Amino acid sequence: MDVILNTLSYFLWVALALGILVFIHELGHFLAARLFGMRVDAFSLGFPPNLFRKQVGETEYRLGAVPLGGYVKIAGMVDESLDVAYEMEPVLDEHGRPVLDDDGEPVLQEKLGRNGKPIPTESEPQPDEFRSKPVWQRSVVISAGVIFNFVFACLIYAALAFTFGQLFTPTENVPVDVAEGSVASEMGLRPGDRIVGVNGRPVEYYEDVFTMEALSADPFRVTVLRDGQSVDLAAEPGLASRLSREAVEVDRAGGETNLETVFGVSPRIPPVLSVVSDGFPARDAGLQAGDRILSIDGQPVPSWNRLTDLITGSEGAPLVVRWARPDSLGAAGEGARVIEHRGAATVYEAEVTPRAVGDSYQMGIALDATAIGQRVEKLGLGESVVAGTRQAASTVALTFSFIGKLVTGRESVRDNVGGPLMIAKQTKEAADQGGGAFWMFVAYLSIALAVFNVLPIPALDGGHLVFLAYEAVVRREPSLRVRMVVQQVGVALILALMVFVIFNDAVRWFG
């Protein structure tokens, strides 16, 4: 039952994310078409079989059972549905006479060409059809889905910036921890390094070090301060592919596939407590805000990450926690033992049993990031919009840049291209981290959907724009037969890509 519920949760989260994005994309096409007086025959969220359909005015609204896309059927447009009219001829009986229906009208059938296939036909466009409109209007309609996805991502990024503000941590205050055998270790990073430059430019804040923009450099380079000396380090080419493979290995081992774990580097934040929650084991043991954890079960705790690793690894077993408290904060509770006095601080020790909370174990403590000068700045509405737009534009540029690396072979397609299974997995993981992480991933998917659709591939929006550009130059449409063949090729390419990414997802996920 647990397996079924877990699988269902993956499906529900990805259906929600994709449903939102497809609706936004198709809404762009729909509104633009209606703005220019084009008739929209159908608006479908999802693909057949249809679970729901309702006619409202000229448009039939549909809800499909396959939540992997959607479409808007605009009258007079040859789209991925390949729904066009064909030449018709009467059905003849054995004597060569037309067969009539119950109303006395001739029964018609599709006329076949020399190749045995139906012959498409194209009548004069009606005033409310796609083909009757100027090229610039049709271009706007085709582009509207991509534009809506981009604007939607801007709004999400802006809302997140407005809600959570921006985090700033001075790099000079943040020595890093480096995992042995990790990508960071192979790159040359060492515990205690302070990263002060990325790709030849100085960085003031740690949040600007491991960004998508920084990691997309080829090669990715950092400048660190080590023992008072400046040291330049560079990653091997194909960093994205390497990180993708590392993420798969970490996931198979049951670890968290965040950047710190995959890259093997994390900020060394002092284990100073800012919050000790009531009703949790740490409070019962006498810990309070301002305490600094020194060791757990005799193992030194130099950083917050080491502290959380030891708590998680306990699996709920009792831990002997030792901490230092400034004397100005007062004595610890009865459950704590005084170990020694160190200047103006007293060292205490107590047994703490972490509590199981979901899939993790917690003592009820939170770190004090102000110990390294970390701060959160709230942004106004205008500042948030600017920050959101800048982030969305940067993501678009990086996505195109990465596609270029895939095409030229600088990055591995197999290691980096994911499909529905990987999207479902990443969506579920983002949702588990909270609303902020979920919407951040939805914004990224919105950009990815926009970029994919604008590629000049037949059957995608980019393919339609190529046809329109051709028409604008030569002053006439490509023939219907040409458009049909090209669309069929495009649909075949997309189906082949879907088969590849689903198979690739299965291999990466299940080994």
Domain assignments of the chain as residue spans, ordered by start: 171-267, 273-367
pLDDT band at 483 (very low <50, low <70, confident <90, very high): confident
Confidence (pLDDT) at 56: 92
Q: How would CATH label the architecture of 171-267?
A: Roll (2.30)
Pair of tokens at residue 369: 């990031």
Check residue 409 and report its DSSP letter: T
Pair of tokens at residue 33: 């078409």
Q: Which is nearest to 62 in space by CA: 79, 74, 50? A: 50
Residue 463 has pLDDT above 70, yes or no: yes
Which of 9-18, 451-460, 481-490 has maximum average pLDDT? 451-460
Residue 444: C-alpha distances to residues 12, 108, 149, 212, 480 (Å) = 18, 50, 10, 11, 36
The three-class DSSP label of residue 224 is strand
Q: How many CB atoms lie within 10 A of CB 262?
A: 24
Residue 303: phi and psi, rounded to 5, are -145, 165
State the fold for domain 273-367. Pdz3 Domain (2.30.42)
Residue 436 has pLDDT above 90, yes or no: no
Calpha distance 197→459 (Å, rounded): 44
pTM: 0.77
pLDDT band at 254 (very low <50, low <70, confident <90, very high): low
Stretch 109-134: mean pLDDT, rounded?
73
Residue 312 has pLDDT above 90, yes or no: no
Q: Give the range among 4-8, 46-50, 80-84, 97-101 with minimum mean pLDDT.
A: 80-84
Residue 379: C-alpha distances to residues 163, 169, 203, 388 (Å) = 8, 16, 21, 11
The three-class DSSP label of residue 52 is strand
Confidence (pLDDT) at 198: 93
Stretch 219-225: mean pLDDT, rounded?
92
Confidence (pLDDT) at 15: 82
Please, which contacts does 113-122 make with residues 24 or more away whose CB atoms are closer than 8 Å? 118/86, 118/87, 119/86, 119/87, 120/84, 120/85, 120/86, 120/87, 120/480, 120/481, 120/484, 121/84, 121/85, 121/86, 121/87, 121/480, 122/84, 122/85, 122/480
Confidence (pLDDT) at 2: 58
Residue 262 has pLDDT above 80, yes or no: yes
Largest CA distance in the chain: 114
Fold agreement (171-267, 273-367): yes
Q: Is the peptide bond before 49 cis (omega within 30 degrees of 0)?
A: yes
Q: What are the pLDDT digits (tens) for 283-311? A: 989 899 999 999 999 999 988 888 888 89
Stretch 29-40: mean pLDDT, rounded?
95
Confidence (pLDDT) at 99: 76
Confidence (pLDDT) at 82: 46
Q: Any bridge partners for residue 360, and if so which?
A: 357
84 within 8 A of 120, measured Cβ to Cβ: yes
Stretch 265-278: mean pLDDT, rounded?
88
Q: What are the pLDDT digits (tens) for 119-131? A: 566 566 788 888 8
